[in-house]
Structure 1
Amino acid sequence: METPEDLSDPGNAWDNAPPRANKYPRDVLHVVVRAFGERHALPGIRMHVWKGLTADFVQRFANGVQCLRPVAAWVSVAMDATMLQLIQIAESMERYGLCTLADLRAFAGAHRFHGKRRCLRALAIARPGSASVKETELRVRLELRGLPAFAINYVVAGSAYDSRMEHTVDLAIAQYRVGLEYQGDQHRSDYRQYRRDREKLGAMAALGWSVFEVTQEDLNSAEALDRLAMRVACVIARQDGAEPRVARLTYARIADPRRAA
């Protein structure tokens, strides 16, 4: 699954820097030990001390190798990952079946470790059901611009392919019939996929939906995301009469449960 290094691309470069931005070579093996005296200088290995490490944080494989449990591995990167990366990895761990967001919340709430507040804040924003780290990034970055919460992989009633499989949209604000689709390279290079996309967007437009397609180039540009957020805000404003605007919210703000209320 994804690691912070895998997510260090231009699309994440805008995000808040982690408390300690340690940069390791990508081929370094990270090892956790319980005490400073257990550390050794070995080529290709970076050793970290976790004084609170206990046996229930660890799983042992049949060959004797010991590894952190997924929930412990996630909190172990709390001080080296950005807030967006923590959210992306948490959702990814559930997507890959390693653990659930509820498992992460239970572990983070029950133990002491560096970065606990950051983890709890990330878990207040993370949601189940995302299909990719790019969809997570798109959703979070638009919520930071003041847009309402999005439904994930929303099924559009009354819209379907010829096979009768219902159309879904990556992110949706259903009450305003506005959706977002993240389009990876395969959506442009695969002709059949391209035709399916055009069919779906046409069917949804006939039902009154406004669907915006987003690419990596949009994620790489703060200005492009501002324009996208404003377009979505304008769709909403046409229906509820509010003045469209783009905000600048913090992670603490979008993690606050009072915001939804």
Structure 2
Amino acid sequence: MRPFVGTEALAAGTVNRYQLATRYTSMHRNVYMPRDVEPTANDRAVAAWLWSGRQATAAGLSAAALHGCKWIDPRLPAELIHTSRHRTTGIVLHSDRLADDEFCRLRSIGVTTPARTAFDLGRKPGLTEAVIRIDALVQATGLKPADMALLADRHAGARGIRQLRRAMALADDGAESPQETRTRLVLTAAGLRPTHTQIEVFDPFGSFVGRLDMGWRQYLVGVEYDGIQHWTDPAQRTRDVDRVAELEALGWRIVRVSSDMLRRRPHVVVDRTLAALRVAGFHPPSVKTIANSR
């Protein structure tokens, strides 16, 4: 059982008062969840909407969660567009006015459209985080750049609009994790924006060999972000070694990126990618130096 209204559950007989008091925890006034269930970002969005009397519109991160975005920190507060002056812990209330084409319903819940959600998320402080969130939203919904641009033009004087436009220009529908987005942004900042993402590679017989996070198909250079399981899981490590060997046999040069490299040594990502591109015959007109992170 996910978030529910306590008085409704009591009236329906699905719980009694003793069960409500001992087996469930109050998320907001009259809104409950099972004690042994850790709430997700989606749960927080639904709970906040129920708290509003089903009157509010989920916005920002809550809208993104309801649209199916991954990687949203479940500890962050829910966000609603609501006229209520009553405040409650765990919910951020916005008073924005929405045009008719800026909200919709998902499973009966009022929620900002993907385009409006991107408009809101892209203006939150922090360019990298804004791009990560827009990438995730595009992945989840198929949101088109033209739809985002329409909202940006409509609200041209809104706070944060400059960052939003930068985030839109940097977004990519091929990012499948925040770290892939960060890797792409490190390369882009150095003047090495990958020309392709999620590159599928096949052998001469048409058999699928693997999919690369990003790279330059025409130069057979790929860049892969490897999560911790790629380094600590022996079975995954073996698969990676075999896969890279197959890719290299087909002429690909693979730059592998770890979390430590991305966080503390981004210049290494750039240097290794640039070296691979130069060997492949590509010489970028200018490459910016990326400082070592401290």
TM-score above 0.5, yes or no: yes
Query: Cα deviations across residues 166-196 of structure 1 (Å, max 9, x unaligned)?
Result: 3222112233322111111232344433222
SS at match of 2:210: strand
Contact 1:230 1:246 in 2 (8 A): no
Which amino acid letter does the alignment assign opposite residue 57 of structure 1? E
Contact 1:101 1:128 in 2 (8 A): no
SS at match of 2:203: strand
SS at match of 2:89: coil
SS at match of 1:96: helix
Using the alignment, how far apart are the partners of 1:96 and 1:220 within structure 2? 26
Query: Cα deviations across residues 231-253 of structure 1 (Å, max 9, x unaligned)?
Result: 2212333454859974059xxxx
Q: 1:27 to 1:169 in 2, by over 3 A?
A: closer
Map of 1:205 onto structure 2: 248
Query: Cα deviations across residues 23-47 of structure 1 (Å, max 9, x unaligned)?
Result: xx9352322246xxx5333333322
Contact 1:155 1:168 in 2 (8 A): yes
* 171, 178, 189: which one aligns with 1:126: 171
1:32 paired with 2:60, answer no
Contact 1:40 1:47 in 2 (8 A): no
Which amino acid letter does the alignment assign opposite residue 269 of structure 2? L
Structural mapping, 1:43-122, within 5 Å: 43-50=89-96, 52-60=97-105, 65-97=109-141, 99-112=143-156, 113-122=158-167
Q: 1:141 to 1:62 in 2, by over 3 A?
A: closer
Using the alignment, how far apart are the partners of 1:93 and 1:43 within structure 2? 26
Shift of residue 139, structure 1, vs aligned partner: 0.9
Moved over 6 A (4+): none
RMSD: 3.1
Using the alignment, how far apart are the partners of 2:98 and 2:123 within structure 1? 16
Map of 1:186 onto structure 2: 229
Map of 1:227 onto structure 2: 268
Between the two structures, name the one with larger relative contact order (CA 8 Å, sep ≥ 6): 1
Shift of residue 202, structure 1, vs aligned partner: 0.8
Map of 1:42 onto structure 2: 88
Using the alignment, how far apart are the partners of 1:132 and 1:171 within structure 2? 12
5+ residue gaps, structure 1: 7-24, 250-261
Q: 1:247 to 1:159 in 2, by over 3 A?
A: farther
Contact 1:182 1:214 in 2 (8 A): yes
Using the alignment, how far apart are the partners of 2:178 and 2:127 within structure 1? 13
Using the alignment, how far apart are the partners of 1:160 and 1:144 within structure 2? 37
Map of 1:170 onto structure 2: 213
Structural mapping, 1:18-29, within 5 Å: 26-29=75-78
Q: 1:206 to 1:80 in 2, by over 3 A?
A: same
Q: TM-score, normalised by structure 2?
A: 0.64
Q: TM-score, normalised by structure 1?
A: 0.71
Using the alignment, how far apart are the partners of 2:217 and 2:106 within structure 1? 46
SS at match of 2:182: helix
SS at match of 1:220: helix
Which amino acid letter does the alignment assign opposite residue 120 of structure 2? S
Q: 1:159 to 1:117 in 2, by over 3 A?
A: farther
Q: 1:136 to 1:78 in 2, by over 3 A?
A: closer
